[in-house]
């Protein structure tokens, strides 16, 4: 994976949220990781467009307006690319995350006109939308999948729904979720924890539980309430709950936790750099992950050696070793609060267990979910399509 003066340009597009979208999210972070992954493969991603094709309400006219805008932007891109010498045009179009609420109106048209490979990372098919409110976008998603030369999925649950719409059986690939291995910090964990304890303030010698997620209605709020219910039964134990995130349901959740106000610490929205010290200083991450697709915050916690207790969804399970003896935490079947409470009790009361899980978390995530591991796999699939980055 080396670089040279040869053209290695890849047109990169994320219909839901561009890599530089102002509101941070797990989806945006994955887009950034794919961008870095392409660079590691020796390719030069260039943002093709910031058009957001997201249709929240399923309004048919809104979907059609976005489709027309997408066609206009695609034609504009085509004209710009065709004015370039062939050697300077993109060698591939790479779209991250498309589905019925955020289809790709650009990539299929541009790649078809330029005769370049069309690659999709993260697609999903919701069959109930075939005749539903998003049926217009649904058809566009199926057409994009059929045209794609490679479809890469981070969630194994998505593969069965995608494969029937690919034009060949070897087009779809599973790629374990990934991110950069965090650099080593020179500040000792004990000193970092002491600094944070004094700054906020938080009792330093009680176990610190961390949750990192948007506080919005729906599944996120359901996860917070599930965890709150579990913690309310463990008040005879010392613990402090640190919550990083904001959203429309924050005020409601704060009211529901008022009886634990001396134990809950609301940090609001933080940048990745601001979250890192908490990942290093806390004792465990707790997140029920109700209907969670992937859970990149969970992977990030493991990268820092933070033990995790979470709910079992296919995407979340893909972040852990198959063998329980090698896992960096506990995966609890969905909707089993008693089992979740038991797991929390063990983690809160057994520092040696937390230390053992911390070792497993870091070892497994660094080996199987690093940018380099993902780049090696991505390179295997892209090289036959677009050649080698000389």
pLDDT in tens, 336-348: 999 999 999 999 9
134 Cβ partners below 8 Å, 6+ apart?
55, 58, 63, 100, 101
pLDDT band for position 388 (cuts 50, 70, 90): low
Domain spans in the chain, listed from the N-terminal domain onward: 9-179+370-386, 189-368
Q: Tell me, which fold does domain 9-179+370-386 have in CATH?
A: Rossmann fold (3.40.50)
Task: Decide if pLDDT at 7 tops 90.
Answer: no
pTM of the model: 0.84
The tens digit of pLDDT for each residue in 116-173 reads 999 999 999 999 999 999 999 999 999 999 999 999 999 888 899 999 999 998 999 9
- What is the chain's mean pLDDT, rounded? 93
**CA–CA gap between residue 96 and residue 122 (Å, rounded):** 6
Check residue 387 and give its pLDDT. Answer: 74
Question: What is the arithmetic mean of pLDDT over 77-99?
Answer: 95
The count of other CB atoms within 10 Å of the CB of residue 262 is: 8
Architecture of the 189-368 domain: 3-Layer(aba) Sandwich (3.40)
Percent of the chain clearing pLDDT 90 (strictly above): 84
User: Which pLDDT band holds residue 2 (cuts at 50, 70, 90)?
Assistant: very low
Q: What are the tens digits of pLDDT across the range 218-227?
A: 999 999 999 9
- pLDDT exceeds cutoff 60 at 377: yes
The yes-or-no answer to whether 9-179+370-386 and 189-368 have a common fold is: yes
**How many angstroms separate the CA atoms of 92 and 148, rounded?**
11
pLDDT in tens, 15-41: 999 888 877 777 888 899 999 999 999
pLDDT 10s digits, 269-306:
998 889 999 999 999 999 999 998 888 899 999 999 99
* pLDDT confidence band for 106 (50 / 70 / 90): very high
Report d(CA 170, CA 52) in Å as an integer.
Answer: 30
- Average pLDDT over every residue of 319-324: 90
Largest Cα separation within the chain, whole Å, is 71
């Amino acid at each position: 994976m080396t670089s040279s003066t040869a053209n290695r340009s890849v047109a990169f597009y994320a219909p839901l949220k561009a890599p530089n979208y102002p509101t941070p999210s797990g989806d945006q972070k994955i887009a950034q990781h794919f961008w870095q992954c392409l660079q590691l493969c020796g390719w030069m991603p260039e943002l093709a467009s910031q058009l957001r094709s997201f249709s929240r309400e399923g309004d048919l006219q809104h979907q059609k307006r976005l489709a027309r805008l997408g066609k206009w932007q695609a034609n504009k891109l085509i004209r710009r690319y065709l004015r370039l010498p062939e050697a300077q045009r993109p060698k591939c179009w790479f779209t991250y995350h498309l589905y019925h609420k955020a289809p790709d109106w650009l990539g299929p048209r541009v790649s078809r006109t330029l005769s370049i490979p069309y690659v999709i990372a993260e697609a999903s098919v919701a069959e109930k939308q075939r005749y539903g409110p998003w049926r217009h976008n649904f058809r566009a998603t199926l057409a994009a999948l059929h045209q794609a030369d490679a479809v890469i999925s981070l969630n194994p649950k998505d593969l069965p729904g995608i494969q029937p719409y690919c034009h060949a059986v070897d087009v779809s690939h599973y790629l374990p979720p990934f991110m950069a291995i965090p650099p080593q910090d020179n500040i000792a964990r004990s000193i970092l924890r002491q600094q944070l304890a004094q700054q906020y303030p938080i009792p330093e010698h009680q176990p610190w539980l961390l949750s990192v997620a948007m506080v919005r209605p729906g599944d996120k709020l359901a996860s917070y309430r599930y965890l709150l219910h579990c913690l309310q039964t463990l008040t005879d134990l010392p613990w402090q709950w640190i919550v990083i995130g904001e959203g429309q349901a924050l005020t409601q959740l704060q009211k529901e936790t008022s009886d634990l106000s001396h134990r809950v610490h609301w940090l609001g929205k933080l940048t990745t750099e601001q979250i890192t010290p908490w990942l290093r200083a806390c004792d465990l991450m707790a997140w029920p992950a109700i209907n969670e697709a992937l859970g990149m915050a969970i992977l990030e916690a493991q990268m820092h050696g933070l033990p995790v207790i979470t709910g079992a969804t296919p995407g979340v399970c893909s972040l852990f070793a198959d063998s329980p003896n090698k896992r960096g935490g506990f995966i609890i079947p969905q909707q089993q609060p008693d089992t979740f409470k038991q797991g929390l009790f063990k983690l809160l009361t057994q520092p040696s267990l937390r230390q053992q899980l911390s070792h497993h978390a870091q070892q497994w995530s660094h080996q199987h979910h690093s940018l380099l591991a993902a780049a090696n796999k991505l390179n295997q699939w892209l090289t036959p399509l677009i050649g080698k980055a000389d």
